[in-house]
Each structure stands twice: as C-alpha cells, then as structure tokens.
Chains A and B, each alone.
Chain A
Amino acid sequence: MKTETEPLAPATTEAPVVLPKRLSPRSIRWARRRKAFVRFWNQFRRNKMGMFGLAILVFFFAMAIVSIFSDKGRLDPTITTNGPVLANPSWAYPFGTNLQGISVLSLVVEGSRISLFVGLTASLISMVVGSTIGIWAGYRSGISDVVLMRLTDVFLVLPWLALAIVLAAVFGQNMWVIIFIIGLTSWAGTSRLVRAQVLSVKERTYIERSRALGGSDWHVVTRHVLPNVMPVIFANTILTIAIAILSESALSFLGLGDPLRPSWGTTIEEAFNNGALTLGKWAWLLAPSLCIVLVVLAFTMVGFAMDEIVNPRIRER
C-alpha cells in the first residue's frame, strides 16, 4: 500500500533534465506572463478603435492624477471670493465659472477623479460578485445553480434606477454608498455570461482529468476553470466600467450624489438646476457632459477591442 508521503521513485535512471538553470518556477511563470502580455499588446496596438479609446482614457486618467495634487481650496463653495460669478468662457476660465465663481474646469478635473474612481471600484465589485456567483452556479449546478440563477434573474429584472434611488435614500448620500449600489446591482449580466462559459468549460475532459488526479473543487476551479473564463470576465468588466460611470452620473444628476465630492454628474445637475441653459452658460453644462460621453465611449471602444482579441469567434484573421 502506498502513502502520500512516499518519496518519488526516479522515473528513469539519471534522466538528463533540461530545466532552465537558475530559474525558479515563479520566475518562469512571470516571464511567461510578460510574454503573454506583450503578445496581447501587439495585437491590441493594431486595433485602431482600441488605440483611440486608450488614448482618450490615458488623457482622462492623467487628468484624474493631476486633480489629486491640485489645490482643493478653489473648489470650496463656502468661499465666495473665488472669482467672477457665472463668467463666460475666457482664457482664465476656459469653461466659465459657476454660481459660486468656481472655475468649471477645476470642477471637471476634480470630477474626473471621482467619476473614474466610482466607475472602476463599482465594476470591480460587480466583477467579483458576478464571477463568483457565475462560477459557483455553473460549476456546482444542481440546486445552487437554480437558486443563484433565480437570484440573478431578480437582479436582472429589477428596475435598476428605482432600486438605486431607494438605496441611496436609505443609506445616505455618500460616495461609497453609490459605489456599492452600482456594484451590487450590475453584476447580473456578468454572472450569466460567466456561468454559460463555465458550463461549457467544465464538461471538457481535462476538467475530469484534473478531478481524477485528485484535485479538489477549489483546485479545479482556480487552475482550470478560472483561467479559461478570465478573458470573458475581463472584456466584460471593461464594458461594465462604462455603464458604471454612466450610472453614477445618472444618480448624481438626480441629486443622489455625494455633495462633498463633485463628480461630473453633480456638476451637470448643478448647471441644470441653476438654469445654465436659459442663462446661455453652455460651457458649464457641456464640459462635464462631453467628459462623460468621451470616457464612456473610450471604455466601450477598448472593451470591444479587447473582446475582439480574446474572443476567437470574432477575431479577425
């Protein structure tokens, strides 16, 4: 009888092994990942739409980083000595100023950080929740599948905005509340997609082989299932970010945003409520709106470009 701790017998006598010397498996793995990334990047670079989207994103992320170091005092609405109130666009104030005399440009720059942060964090939550539920439902099947998928159905058919308004009203107007509301209401699509992918992956023979090897469910899922559904999750998440940013703007526009952290949606709401249109202060409204449109467009373009690379069915040869 064998025990697990039995030392391995040499398979052959003195087998010459061609393992790269001085390389630990970990460093081999990293070298491999680097290579995979370079390959991905080379494909991505050739995609015009993707590169265009990426350029826009780089611009807005740079803007968000700048906003971290900018002087927050200029944005303080309690200080009324900011500058001319409701100024028209000029060299000093490229998009004019608002009711408190704060430069709309400063608001937009500040808003880029808030909007991107909310969008990214919310989709991260959505990705984790969606893939966990999707993988669980697909892999375990049976009763877990039924229960989790009905739960997904509930979140799919739930009128999202109504739910978000109720939750925001109950939990207060805080950025983190908004993040969780968006994250916890937008995972349903991801989980559906992931489950479908898992269902097809788990019937493959190498999954059965891995189980026959003595692998636990955790081992099989992390070693074989997750790497196979990862591209789908990734491409889907990029698209979710666009939706999350849009959702945040919608909530802020409805007055449910965090009043202390002016996102683009908050600026639009302020402009709209203070009659920017009737006063002819078009730039006040247009600047944040354009930002939203551009960022959402850019994420969508990058998402589609990545989908084209990772999804062999629509890959152009």
Chain B
Amino acid sequence: MSVLSVRDLRVTYSTKGGDVPAVRGVTFDIDKSEVLGLAGESGCGKSTIAGAVLRLHSPQTRIEGDITLDGKDVLELSPGKLRATRWTGASIVFQGALHALNPVQRIGNQIVEAITVHRMADEREAFVRAGALLEQVGLPPRRINDYPHELSGGQKQRVMIAMALACNPSLIIADEPTTALDVMVQAQVLKLLRSLQHDLGLAMLFITHDLSVLVEVSDKLAIMYAGKIVEEGPANEVFHSPVHPYTKALAAAFPEIGDQRFRKRPSGLGGDPPDPQLIPSGCPFHPRCAEVTAVCPELVPELWDAGVGRTAACVHANGAPTLEGVART
C-alpha cells in the first residue's frame, strides 16, 4: 500500500477575481521509502499540492478528488482527526525556514511544541527528544536553547527538518527546502534529507523548481505545468532523456559544467507560465512549445505511455494516438 495516494486532485482557490484552478487533476502515488520529486515553474501548483495533503488551505478553497494518507481519506477527516493526522501522518519542511520559525521562541520549544501538541510525551521527555533530533540533523544539542536569529540559514533548515521528524511521520513533504540557501549549504541539506529518508525508510514528496536538485534526491520525477503533471517517470531517465518539450526546456536550462557550447549559448524557455484563469486551449504548453504541431491547440493531451514506467502528456509521446502531421521523437 502506498503511503500517499492522490487521485485526480483539483484545488481551486476562490478569489475576488473569480475562481483560480491552481491544480487541475493530478494523480500520483508515493510508496514507503520512495522519493517523488515534483518540479515546475513558479505558480504551477506545486506548493498547493503540499498544502492540500494536510488540508492547510483556507475553507474557501475547494479541494476535489481523493487524497489517501496512510489509508486515511484526508479530505473526509473530521477536524479533530485531521489535527491528529497532521505531523504524525505527514509533516512539512517549509519553504524558507527563516519565516517558519517563531522569532520569539527558542528552537527547542518549537520542536517540543510538535511533540506535546500530539501528547506523545510530557514536556521533559519531549525536550530530551528534541535534543536527540537536533543531533540527528547534525546540530549540537546545546543549540536547543538558541533563538532562530542565532542560527544560520542552513542551521535553521536543519531545525525545520528535525521538527519534521519529531512525530515519526510516514511522509515528509519538503516544499522547496533549499530555496534561499547557498549552493554548499544546499548540498549539505539535500544530503541530510536523503540520508534521513533512507535510514528511516520515509516516503518523501520533494517539491522544487530546481530540476538538478531533484535528480539528486528523487526516485521518481513528476513535472508539472499549469496545474497538471505533464511528464512522469524514473528520475534519471526523465532528466536525461525527456520526452515532453517542457521537460526538455527545463533540463536544457541547466548548464553542463565544462561544456563550451553551453557557455556561449545558455538555453532557456521564452514566455511566461500561463495565468491559471486563462489557460490556453488544447495543450496548455503549446504557445511556448518548440515542437508545436497543428493539432496541439485543439487536442488536450493525456498522460500517454512514453517508455517503460514513463508517461508524458504530449502528442510526441510513443503511446500517443496516431495523428496526422505529428512526428514521433
């Protein structure tokens, strides 16, 4: 049984300017000790999925579909059961640890908060565990009495990771855990997350816009565009031989160290991600696509077969229905 199973998830924010469909039908599974990487541009719905798994969105936000966490249907839980599930079922390493820590509380207290909220231990035991957790993420346990401003960015992120482990969750959602960290610290944090995930057999949903980071940590990769998954498959294959033109563009945007050609001509992707309220017809990517065909503006692609264990929502995928004027790659 997979730890997290998401079926046809749709999240719609209701705003003054009308409904904004941020996630439009996303399906994925994460098994025990598996890391699913979720990548895409800003505003494609990655973090919205993270919030939906623990139902952190405001009550006005519509969530449809099925989210099953540890066999429990998250969308059907009563408020009390939901609170009990949060952090024990799945915990979040938040984007930007600088703001996810209360500046006026010592970090020890904030880790203890996670444990005592769930009445897993009394305060003294919880402090003992908080010290052990800090050590586990590579911080000296004496830092337990520090305030967040006394820690560096990387250390704060380690505290966030320690906090995420506090209640032995089966799933950790890492929502851009390495943003605003310099590259060296980024590498350390990634290594730490990966080793903890491996040692504790955790399932992990890893969200970032940095595809090269994902290849390092993920087993499976899912690329999102405009609220939908456009390509999914084993991490290495998706990164090194992408099928969807969007994935190709993302992968090509990373410089190959030592590649002279790249220094002369870094490639990127023109245009902006579409406004969620004005998604283009057919394939939402077609206005920016380098391999656009005549059918793209009309045909809404589904996740067709694109090799062993891989799918892609593109007419160029192997499993796509045969269409006139479409060349297969």
Residues of A participating in the B interface, judged by any CB pair closer than 8 Å: 1-2, 4, 6, 8-12, 15-19, 24-25, 204-206, 208-216, 219, 223-224, 227-228
Contacts and interface: CB of A to CB of B under 8 A. Distances in A.
B149 interface: no
A224 to B, nearest CB: 6
Contact of A204 (B92, B99, B105): B99
- Going nearest first, the 10 A-B pairs with the smallest beta carbon separation are A15-B132, A214-B86, A205-B99, A11-B132, A205-B100, A206-B102, A17-B131, A214-B83, A25-B123, A213-B87
Contacts of B95: 205
A228 B104 contact: yes
B121 to A, nearest CB: 6
Contact of A214 (B72, B84, B99, B104): B84
B124 A213 contact: no
11 contacts: A2-B89, A4-B118, A8-B125, A12-B136, A15-B132, A15-B135, A17-B127, A205-B95, A205-B96, A206-B101, A214-B88
Contacts of B163: 209
Interface residues of B, number: 50
A211 B168 contact: no
B218 interface: no
Contacts of B127: 17, 19, 25
Nearest to B91: A212
A8 B124 CA distance: 13
A4 B88 contact: yes
Contacts of B88: 2, 4, 214
B131 A19 contact: yes
B129 interface: yes
A12 B114 CA distance: 18
B100 A15 contact: no
Interface of B: 54, 56, 70-72, 83-89, 91-92, 94-96, 99-102, 104-105, 110, 113-115, 117-121, 123-125, 127-129, 131-133, 135-136, 141-142, 144, 163, 165, 168, 170
Contacts of A4: 84, 88, 118-120
Contacts of B101: 206, 209
Contacts of B84: 4, 214
Contacts of B142: 18
B102 A215 contact: no
Given A19-B127, A209-B101, A211-B56, 12 more contacts: A8-B121, A11-B136, A12-B135, A15-B132, A24-B124, A205-B100, A208-B100, A209-B94, A212-B87, A213-B113, A214-B87, A219-B117
A11 B96 contact: no
A312 to B, nearest CB: 11
A205 B170 contact: no
Contacts of B115: 8
Output the residue of A9, A206, A216 with the most chain B CB within 10 A. A206
Nearest to A209: B100
Contacts of A227: 104-105
Contact of A215 (B70, B83, B133): B83
A24 B110 CA distance: 17
Output the residue of B72, B83, B89 with the most chain A CB within 10 A. B83
A19 B128 contact: yes
Given A213-B86, A213-B87, A205 B141 contact: no
Contacts of A212: 54, 56, 86-87, 91-92
A223 B96 CA distance: 21
Output the residue of B72, B89, B92, B100 with the most chain A CB within 10 A. B100
B4 to A, nearest CB: 13
B277 to A, nearest CB: 23
Output the residue of B88, B119, B123, B132 with the most chain A CB within 10 A. B132
A15 B141 contact: yes
Contacts of A228: 102, 104
B118 A10 contact: no
A24 B102 CA distance: 23
Nearest to B108: A19
B3 to A, nearest CB: 11
Contacts of B114: 213-214
B122 to A, nearest CB: 9
Contact of B141 (A2, A18, A24, A213): A18
Nearest to A9: B168
Contacts of B83: 214-216
